[in-house]
């Protein structure tokens, strides 16, 4: 008998499930388990995107820290983020909810108001769902979206030489969560009311090769892109965009803001790769930051603390000097860790 931890955590479990289920023989299935959303053929011009995310009280949110409205908003927004990461736009949502006895009707109403506000913001409809009883508050949201076929951004499409870019700032959600956990004061809105980058994604998806949203930290997302695209990558630590607020909170917590950005979860920014010549086109329409470069698979996946090295040559041998500068990019937020 093997525990999920012994197997290797969340991603090992997803692998096992994907192997158990096997590949679909249905030709309309373009992408199954393994990307931000499932992708199926819809019509001549569009693919349909299907995603689902389950939030469990105590593991993904705390009623101590979040209002009912914030919980509803977050449950919806994180699914829209998955649709955005594929380059698409949301159309419909379904909500399943398990309610413990201590949750009042007024609380339920507030949660659904929160969900509705996100549906309104992003112009889609909540069309169904399911309510049931359970010992813990569990919210499971499905979002169905569409994407123009030529704008579908899979994780698996990064090309050697692509720039790795991100929207917004990273580490902000974990900084907020850690501040709440430590009982400190500070601006924790980025944790309680995360906002995904749907508008930006719709611009970026015209030009990007690969895209993913940051739900498990930059390191984990870049590694996903590299694994799926069969490439390497180098990320420059100093280029990772981190807000002044995140640095302040990290300072109070005596923790490293870069660690939050690389290994924290739930920022819901976008990480994407583009050919160099597309950079200007995107930059004029939405602010993005270049944080690294896609390299060949044999060059590996590295975090560089210093100047970006020349990737035309093999990685230099580890010397006393560059040992400090270059470390394998690894780790990520594991949703099997508890609060």
Of residues 106 through 165, those in contact with its own copies by CB under 8 A are 106, 108-109, 112-113, 115-116, 124-136, 138, 140, 142, 144
Shortest Å distance, C-beta 191 to its own copies: 18
Shortest Å distance, C-beta 335 to its own copies: 5
Give me the sign of the Cα torsion angle 57, 63, 68, 71: negative
43 binds its own copies (CB under 8 A): yes
4 binds its own copies (CB under 8 A): yes
User: In which element (H, E) is residue 211 found?
Assistant: strand 210-213
- In the complex with its own copies, the residue whose CB is nearer, 35 or 200, is 35
Q: Is residue 237 within 8 Å of residue 304, measured between CB atoms?
A: yes
3-state helix, strand, coil in the chain (%, to 5): 35, 25, 35
Query: Which of 67, 96, 296, 325 lies at the binding interface for its own copies (CB under 8 A)?
Result: 96
Query: Which of 45, 46, 60, 198 lies at the binding interface for its own copies (CB under 8 A)?
Result: 60
For 130, half-sphere exposure in the C-beta direction (CA atoms, 13 angstrom radius) is 10
Shortest Å distance, C-beta 180 to its own copies: 19
105 binds its own copies (CB under 8 A): yes
Please report which residue ranges of the chain form alpha helices under DSSP H.
4-7, 10-21, 68-85, 105-121, 172-181, 189-192, 198-204, 218-229, 244-253, 257-263, 279-283, 320-323
Residues binding its own copies: what is the number (CB under 8 A)? Answer: 74
Sheet strand arrangement including 138-148: 29-31, 38-41, 46-56, 138-148, 89-99, 125-133
Shortest Å distance, C-beta 82 to its own copies: 10
193 binds its own copies (CB under 8 A): no
29 binds its own copies (CB under 8 A): yes
Q: Is residue 244 within 8 Å of residue 299, measured between CB atoms?
A: no
- In the complex with its own copies, the residue whose CB is nearer, 37 or 205, is 37
Shortest Å distance, C-beta 112 to its own copies: 4
99 binds its own copies (CB under 8 A): yes
Residues with Cβ < 8 Å from 202, sequence gap 6 or more? 84, 87, 89
Q: Tell which positions 64-93 bind its own copies, by CB under 8 A.
A: 91-92
Q: Is residue 261 within 8 Å of residue 240, measured between CB atoms?
A: yes
Q: Tell which positions 8-27 bind its own copies, by CB under 8 A.
A: 10, 13-14, 16-17, 20-22, 24-26
Find, among 150, 177, 181, the residue nearest to 265 by Cα.
177
Q: Tell which positions 245-284 bind its own copies, by CB under 8 A.
A: none
- In the complex with its own copies, the residue whose CB is nearer, 173 or 245, is 173
230 binds its own copies (CB under 8 A): no
3-class secondary-structure state, position 277: helix
Find, among 300, 303, 301, 305, the residue nearest to 324 by Cα.
305
Q: How far apart are CA 311 and CA 25, in angstroms?
A: 40
- In the complex with its own copies, the residue whose CB is nearer, 146 or 291, is 146
316 binds its own copies (CB under 8 A): no
DSSP assignment of 289-304 equals EEEEEEEEGGG-EEEE
- In the complex with its own copies, the residue whose CB is nearer, 90 or 232, is 90
186 binds its own copies (CB under 8 A): no
182 binds its own copies (CB under 8 A): no
> Interacting stretch for its own copies, rule CB under 8 A, among 101-109, 219-227, 315-323, 324-332?
101-109
């Amino acid at each position: 008998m093997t525990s999920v931890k012994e197997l290797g955590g969340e991603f090992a479990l997803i692998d096992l499930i994907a192997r158990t289920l096997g590949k679909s023989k249905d030709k309309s299935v373009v992408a199954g388990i393994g990307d931000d959303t499932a992708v199926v053929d819809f019509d001549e011009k569009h693919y349909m995107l299907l995603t689902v995310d389950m939030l469990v009280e105590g593991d993904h949110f705390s009623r101590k820290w979040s209002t009912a409205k914030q919980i509803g908003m977050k449950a919806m927004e994180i699914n829209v983020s998955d649709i955005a990461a594929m380059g698409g736009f949301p159309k419909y949502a379904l909500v399943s909810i398990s309610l413990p006895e201590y949750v009042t009707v007024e609380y339920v109403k507030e949660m659904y108001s929160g969900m509705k506000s996100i549906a309104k913001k992003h112009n889609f409809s909540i069309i169904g769902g399911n309510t049931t009883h359970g010992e813990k508050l569990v919210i499971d949201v499905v979002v169905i979206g569409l994407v123009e076929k030529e704008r579908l951004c899979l994780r698996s499409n990064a090309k050697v030489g692509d720039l790795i870019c991100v929207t917004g700032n990273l580490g902000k959600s974990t900084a907020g969560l850690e501040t709440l956990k430590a009982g400190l004061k500070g601006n924790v809105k980025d944790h309680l009311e995360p906002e995904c980058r749907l508008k930006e994604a719709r611009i970026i998806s015209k030009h990007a090769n690969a895209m993913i949203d940051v739900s498990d930290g930059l390191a984990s997302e870049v590694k996903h892109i590299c694994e799926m695209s069969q490439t390497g990558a180098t990320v420059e630590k100093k280029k990772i965009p981190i807000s002044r607020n995140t640095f302040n909170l990290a300072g109070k917590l005596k923790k490293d803001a870069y660690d939050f950005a690389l290994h924290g979860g739930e920022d819901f920014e976008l990480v994407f790769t583009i050919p160099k010549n597309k950079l200007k086109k995107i930059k004029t329409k939405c602010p993005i930051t270049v944080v690294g470069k896609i390299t060949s698979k044999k060059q590996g996946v590295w975090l560089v603390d210093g100047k970006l090295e020349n990737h035309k040559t093999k990685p230099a041998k580890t010397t006393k000097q560059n040992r400090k500068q270059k470390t394998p990019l690894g780790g990520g937020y594991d949703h099997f860790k508890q609060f």
